[in-house]
Amino acid sequence: MPNYTLWISARKDSGSAWFLGALAAIAVIVPVLNLAVPAASPFHVSAFGLTLVGKYLCYALLALSVDLIWGYCGILSLGHAAFFSLGGYAIGMYLMRQIGSRGVYGNPELPDFMVFLNYKSLPWFWHGFNHFAFALLMMIVVPAVLAFAFGWFAFRSRVTGVYLSIITQALTYALMLAFFRNDMGFGGNNGFTDFKDILGFDLHSDKVRVTLLVFTAVVLGASYLACRAIVASRAGRVMRAIRDAESRARFLGYRVESFKLWIFVFSAVLAGIAGALYVPQIGIINPSEFSPINSIEVVIWVAVGGRGTLYGAAAGALLVNYAKTYFTSTIPEAWYYALGTLFVLVTLFLPRGIVGLVTGRARKRKTATRPAVPAETPEPSRK
Amino acid sequence: MKKSVRSAGARLLFLALLLAGLSIARLHAQSPSDASFLASLGQLREVSFPDKETIIAQLAQSGHPSAQSALTALLEDRLYFRNDDQMVFLLKAPAADDATSLTLVDPVTLKDAGSAPVENLTKIGTNNHLRRVLQTTLARFRLSSPDAAVRLGAVHDIEQNLDEGNVKLLRERVAAETDSKVKAEISTSLAMADLDSPDAPVRLAAIAVLHKSLRQDVLNKLSGVAGTSDGGEGDSDPQVRAAAQSAVKSITRWRTMYSWCETLFFGLSLGSVLVLIAIGLAITFGVMGVINMAHGELMMLGAYTTYLVQVAMPNHGEISILVAIPAAFLVAALMGILIERTVIRFLYGRPLETLLATFGVSLILQQLVRSIFTALNRSVNTPNWMSGTLQVNDALSVTYNRLYIVIFTLLVFAALFVVLKRTRVGLEIRAVSQNRAMARAMGIRSEWVDALTFGLGSGIAGVAGVALSQLTNVNPNLGQSYIIDSFMVVVFGGVGNLWGAMVGGMSMGVVNQLLEPYAGAVLAKIFVLIVLILFIQTRPRGLFPPTGRSSENQ
Amino acid sequence: MNYRKTRIAGWLLAAGMAFTGLAMSSTAQAQDTIKVGVLHSLSGTMAISETTLKDTILMMIDEQNKKGGLLGKKLEAVVVDPASNWPLFAEKAQELLEKDKVAVVFGCWTSVSRKSVLPVFEKDNGLLFYPVQYEGEESSKNVIYTGAAPNQQAIPAVEYLMNEVGVKRWVLEGTDYVYPRTTNKILEAYLLAKGVKPEDISINYTPFGYSDWQARVAAIKKFGSAGKKTAVVSTINGDANVPFYKELGNQKISAQDIPVVAFSVGEEELSGLDAKPLVGHLAAWNYFESINTPTNKAFIEKWHTFIKNPKRTTNDPMEAHFIGFNLWVKAVQKAGTTDTEKVIAALPGLETPNLTGGIAKVLPNHHITKPVYIGEVRADGMFDVVWKTTGTVPGEAWSRYLPSDKDIVADWVTLKCGNYNKATKACSGQNYK
């Protein structure tokens, strides 16, 4: 049972307050600017703007899930894009079934790519996806099961540090290769696209986009509160102990593997939900979402924003993706420079991220460079 | 909408009439054979490709002394005609790209005939099919060449077309042939022809000869005789059939064995590429605890260095790659040292921060190369001594470039081993990685050692880039395609361990290639990845884990 | 905790997000230019192919402006980089249409990128000129397909091999995605219909970026040594081509033994390769740089001046953009406005010269007429034309060799539908509501 008194208490977590406040503001202002303000006005937010903000919020949720396990438990997962994409594919399958006979080949049962690949009937794993509830269930269950299976073996074998990170990469890479295969039944390289509607509502209408955006903001807020609750609870303390000195925590009698496993599964579910919210807004899901580089980018968002602060991760996601959108439009030929330099500078000079800069703690840490003598005994360093 | 297919028969008739007419007309001008020869050459100017084939056959049969030279010229793109007087000439040498005037050779006398500007000459073109016909036709001339290798090539070409004339030619040749290899080849060809003989004893004798062969086409023909191929009942004589069946079994057994050898070689060559790309990473990560995401880009720099060296030495294509190896090492090592001094130095003890920072560096390097060299592929030529195949026997051939890369990998590995185990620098590197404090207490300047280690690892990456430039695209994305694989190998083999990288890389390559024929490329790769994931569960620190208390920090 | 600082942090966050929304969606100022969108990847895996196309459009815009612009206004290029990332393609397409309010977009290369931007163009009623050869199975009101459909590339190539070269055994080697899969499906149906036995056809797929071709090339060699003339029809795409051809050269598979005809290898791909071992291998396109016509020579010269490099090659997608751009200019002039609806209506039936001496005409199914050339690789990286169609071939969006497509026809002039089923008399799929 999470200890609510701890997190409501006089820790006066104003960072959270401001984050949630900003989130609420966005959830209200942006829809209003789209629906209420006329199109000609400079304050109007077009459908493009709605999609963009929605995308940022989904990414913020994904960054949140990574920060939860990395910042608070020391598990660096370089494969979270896998869970994100699995959630996305789950909702994508539902949306594909919804197209029905409005597809290119007019087949009410089979999506276009199956007709074209000469499938005679729907593969077994597609059954049930014409029900929204089932898709909702799958988008939670599938990432959870995968995370559980993976984590069970990995944590039990005490795979840590960079080895763990690399095998999470191997996992997402293998999934990417698998989903790229046209024979798998997931649309191959083209993925799923050309969605028509969700729950009967047209995906392209502004009202639906607004609803999705608000819903994403609400889910983000709720997830944030949930993460806060976990982190502030006793379990959260144990996790921080694991992060700081795993062997010590184990010797103190805590079942380190179980803690790691459950937080990993929870984080995977969050990532899956983020993916499921992402796909209806973007309109396409494709196996390149599984690519290892995407996962590394998520970690970068968290690092840029500030690891171990939760709202920092969300802020980092927003900032970096905004920078990417901005640079690919304004300096399309040289935006790699801009982004690369940003990463190098942030890692070098802002080890606590943007949030650290803003809260002034970064200044104290900036002068600390390589320790002259590496510790013989494991020091409480953050991995 | 297609070009209408003109009747070959009508054209042939027209041609024959024309030839007859021309030869009569030119009776007074030159000797008749020269005249018809020139006339045929003249016809090559305008006719369609199928008709050119007919004319080529005629020229070959004509027996004219210059026929071979003319046909060779046609094969090598050296047959041209002058625009103003429509006379056909041979070129002394193939036309260079930037030539302004070309030296001409008279087709009949084969003597120099002056030169003409390039615009005044038009090439008489060929297509694939014609080139093939020409090679077979010219093979008959080449059969009597003094060079054994040329004769062997001629026999191979003639084999494609074992008509009566060619068989007669081969029988005449086999008696006079001195070179054993060529003789064996001719015997095989004759045996192949003998399989069609009406006499059963002749056929039996042919099968006895062919029993020892390993060639695919021999196998195909024998399968037809044995009745094992689909649709055929085989030979009428049961003895012949039985002999053929046993020959087929034997040849298939040998071929399968050699095919396994070939797969093993493929696995080793893939593995050697993996080892090369991983070994630099193993050093930087194992010794310094630095995850270098820019490793791929350092390989890319090595590949581009190879390209630049080649551009700088246009006439020395054969040795430019050897020059490129140290050049790439230097370029990549310097870049590595630069990265270490400016970025990595501040991030020791925080391996995951180095991952992020070097990711940023990799983006910058990619864009840098893209801006300087554009995003297009750059072509890196393979030197002649590295191209082609080594034909071990008829069933097993090994490509030279892959063979050299395997050897090269072993050399690099050995060199690195020697450096680390036997030199002062290597000693210092090992000391710093095992116990930094003590090494410093002993007077080793650990900052320099760090920079050198990173430089060494990066230099190896550059050298790997030289090898990669021979196998794949040279473009700014080269690094991205290999970085994931290099991480897998390092983790599999055990971080910081050279032997681990070698064994890990080789085994991953071999397993991948063994699976590929059965599961397809993608599933084989996925399987290897899953095995890796499961393997790490059982041995969480790789094949050769680092030992000692310092390893707990990782 | 320092409240002031966190307050600032919070405000920054909120302000940043609000700004995002505003800045990204503010309406474009009314200026005296017509905006032309360029949606090609300038980084990532597709940059190799697409950067050249971006430069082509910039060159065409420059040319047009020198001629006085269009409808009295200058043309302005709006270039964005979707970075070979398919969701980013959709986002950038939205940005071009909604934020920059461009009149037309020239872009995309891979079918995925086109399929991901298609809903955007149909919802916002934009106009896209798509310059790359593709698999068909699509006809959208908002897209003009200036690249080849399978009947303008694949079928003529196979016919050439069958009739002129006498090929009896076929290896259909492709990268595992929709263009090769569809093309191979059509080709398989075609070959079977022409009497080729199923055991004489070998179809194989490899993943993107596949670089270790040893085993695969050895298998092709084995398949080709069964005694009948064998050819490889290659729909291998992008990065995998270079190691494939290198391996062919190394295993000494010459074009005389087993010719390879490729649909995605042009002058640009060859410029990154040593072409000498590949002499004689084939490619099928609607344009080759070596075709000698005055329009082509002028185009090549202009290109060399514009790109400031006399060694840069031209290729088929560049010609497609040349044609597409000229068609758009003509359509705008005919309609008297850049309004997309009117321009789209003005396009079918318009004609413009192509670079090889023929005419490209826009058909009601939004494809164009193109000639087909089969070329052999020369040692210098150019192609020698060994065969061509007498006239132009009209592009068919729906292949007549596939049972699922036989009854479907695309017609945006009379039927106003992209996939109209003649048997059931119903319209479906890509019909813009």
**B81, pLDDT greater than 90:** no
Predicted pLDDT at C7:
54
Q: Are A72 and A231 in contact (CB under 8 A)?
A: yes
Which of chain B's residues have a Cβ under 8 Å away from the Cβ of C252? 388-389
Predicted pLDDT at C296:
95
Overall CATH class of domain C151-291+374-394: alpha beta
Q: Are A105 and A115 in contact (CB under 8 A)?
A: yes
Q: Do residues B174 and B274 both lie within one domain?
A: no
Phi, psi dihedrals of residue C337, rounded to the nearest 5°: -155, 160
Q: Where are the beta strands (DSSP E) in C260-324?
A: 260-262, 282-285
Distance CA A337, CA A256 (A): 41
Q: Does the beta-carbon distance from B376 to C243 stay under 8 Å?
A: no
Which of chain B's residues have a Cβ under 8 Å away from the Cβ of C159? 2
The domain made up of A2-366 is a member of CATH 3.40.50: no
Q: Does the beta-carbon distance from C215 to B397 stay under 8 Å?
A: no
Pairing of strands B88-91, B79-82: antiparallel
Tokens describing residue B90:
């041979």
Q: Is B377 on the interface with C (CB under 8 A)?
A: yes
Cα dihedral sign for B243, B249, B254, B258?
positive
Select from B227, B60, B36 the least CA-distant residue to B158.
Answer: B60
Distance from CA of A314 to the nearest CA of C (A): 10
Distance from CA of B281 to the nearest CA of C (A): 21
pLDDT tens figures, C157-182: 999 999 988 899 999 999 888 888 88
Strand partners for C394:
C369
Q: What is the pTM of this model?
A: 0.83
Predicted pLDDT at C414:
86
Residue to test with chain C: of B122, B128, B134, most C Cβ within 10 A: B128
Mean pLDDT is lowest, of A4-13, A45-54, A82-91, A347-356, for: A4-13
Provide the CA C20 distance to its chain's centre, in angstroms. 33
Residue to test with chain C: of B161, B162, B399, most C Cβ within 10 A: B399
Please compute the mean of the pLDDT values over residues A331-339 and round it to a whole number: 84
Strand partners for C296:
none
Which of chain C's residues have a Cβ under 8 Å away from the Cβ of A191? 86, 112
pLDDT tens figures, C263-316: 988 898 888 777 888 888 999 999 999 999 999 999 999 999 999 988 889 999
A171, A347, A371 ranked by CB distance to B353: nearest: A347
Distance from CA of C292 to the nearest CA of B (A): 14
Distance CA B424, CA B418 (A): 11
Predicted pLDDT at C409:
87
When pLDDT is cut at 50, 70 and 90, the band that residue B1 belongs to is: very low
Residue ranges per structural domain of chain A? 2-366
**pLDDT winner (highest mean) among A317-321, A365-369, A372-376:** A317-321
Q: In what order do the strands lie in the sheet with C201-206?
A: C201-206, C169-175, C230-235, C260-262, C282-285, C373-377, C383-388
When pLDDT is cut at 50, 70 and 90, the band that residue A7 belongs to is: very low
Tokens describing residue A13:
């977590």
pLDDT tens figures, B132-164: 888 878 887 787 777 878 888 888 877 777 777
CA atoms lying within 13 Å on the CB side of residue C192: 12
Pairing of strands C104-107, C33-39: parallel
User: Which segments of chain C belong to CATH 3.40.50.2300?
Assistant: 2-149+293-370, 151-291+374-394
Of A266 and C400, more confident: A266
DSSP codes, C325-352 = HHHHHHHHHHHTS--HHHHHHH-TT-EE
Distance CA C164, CA C388 (A): 12
Tokens describing residue B552:
């707990």
Distance CA B172, CA B485 (A): 58
Q: Does the beta-carbon distance from B347 to A347 stay under 8 Å?
A: yes
B3, B377, B521 ranked by CB distance to C48: nearest: B377
Q: Does the beta-carbon distance from B484 to A292 stay under 8 Å?
A: yes
Give the type of residue at C21. Answer: G
Predicted pLDDT at B307:
93
Which of chain A's residues have a Cβ under 8 Å away from the Cβ of B348? 369-371, 374
Select from A380, A377, A63 the least CA-distant residue to A242.
Answer: A380
Q: Do residues B439 and B499 both lie within one domain?
A: yes
ipTM, 2 dp: 0.82
* Averaged pLDDT score across all residues of chain C: 87
**A117, pLDDT greater than 70:** yes
Please compute the mean of the pLDDT values over residues C223-227 and round it to a whole number: 85
Q: Do residues B191 and B272 both lie within one domain?
A: no
Start-to-end C-alpha separation, chain B: 70
Q: Do residues B125 and B159 both lie within one domain?
A: no
Determine the structural domain holding residue B324 and report its residue range: 258-553
Q: What share of chain A is helix, strand, coil (3-state, %, to 5)?
A: 70, 0, 25
Residue to test with chain A: of B281, B338, B346, B434, most A Cβ within 10 A: B346
Q: Do residues B342 and B462 both lie within one domain?
A: yes
pLDDT tens figures, C3-50: 555 555 555 555 554 554 445 444 444 468 999 999 999 988 888 889
Q: Do residues B226 and B270 both lie within one domain?
A: no
Which of chain C's residues have a Cβ under 8 Å away from the Cβ of A204? 119, 123
Residue to test with chain B: of A157, A165, A166, A352, most B Cβ within 10 A: A166
Which of chain A's residues have a Cβ under 8 Å away from the Cβ of C118? 193-194
Tokens describing residue B506:
């080789």
Q: Does the beta-carbon distance from B129 to C165 stay under 8 Å?
A: yes
Predicted pLDDT at B178:
79
Q: Are B366 and A337 in contact (CB under 8 A)?
A: no
- Non-local CB neighbours of C166 within 8 Å, separated by 6+ positions: B129, C229
Predicted pLDDT at B7:
64
Q: Do residues B331 and B469 both lie within one domain?
A: yes
Distance CA A28, CA A51 (A): 15
The domain made up of C2-149+293-370 is a member of CATH 1.20.1250.20: no
Count Cβ atoms within 10 A of the Cβ of residue B511 and give its class: 0-12 exposed, 13-18 middle, 19 or more buried. middle
Q: Does the beta-carbon distance from B476 to C47 stay under 8 Å?
A: yes
Residue to test with chain C: of A190, A277, A289, A336, most C Cβ within 10 A: A190
C9, C98, C178 ranked by CB distance to A188: nearest: C178
pLDDT tens figures, C54-90: 999 999 999 999 999 899 999 999 999 998 888 889 9
Q: Does the beta-carbon distance from C81 to A325 stay under 8 Å?
A: no
A154, A247, A340 ranked by CB distance to B361: nearest: A340
Q: Are C171 and C220 in contact (CB under 8 A)?
A: yes
Tokens describing residue A83:
């869970």
When divided into structural domains, chain B yields a total of 3
A76, A166, A341 ranked by CB distance to B487: nearest: A166
Q: What is the dihedral of CA C358, C359, C362, C368, to 10 degrees?
A: 0
Q: Are B492 and B532 in contact (CB under 8 A)?
A: yes
Of B110 and C374, more confident: C374
Subunits in contact with chain C (3 or more CB pairs closer than 8 Å):
A, B
Which of chain C's residues have a Cβ under 8 Å away from the Cβ of B217? 225, 227
Count Cβ atoms within 10 A of the Cβ of residue B221 and give its class: 0-12 exposed, 13-18 middle, 19 or more buried. buried
Q: Does the beta-carbon distance from A286 to C21 stay under 8 Å?
A: no
Tell me how far CA of residue A213 lies from CA of A18, A26, A83, A319, in angstroms: 19, 9, 21, 18
Helices (H), B289-423: 295-312, 320-342, 351-373, 400-422
When pLDDT is cut at 50, 70 and 90, the band that residue A90 belongs to is: very high
Please compute the mean of the pLDDT values over residues B177-190 and round it to a whole number: 82
Pairing of strands C393-394, C369-370: antiparallel
Distance from CA of A370 to the nearest CA of B (A): 5
B351, B361, B437 ranked by CB distance to A162: nearest: B351
Q: Is A192 on the interface with C (CB under 8 A)?
A: no
Tokens describing residue A270:
């969050």
Predicted pLDDT at C259:
92
A-C Cβ pairs (cutoff 8 Å, strict): 212
B49, B401, B477 ranked by CB distance to C45: nearest: B477
Predicted pLDDT at A6:
44
Give the type of residue at A266. Answer: F
C163, C176, C376 ranked by CB distance to B128: nearest: C376
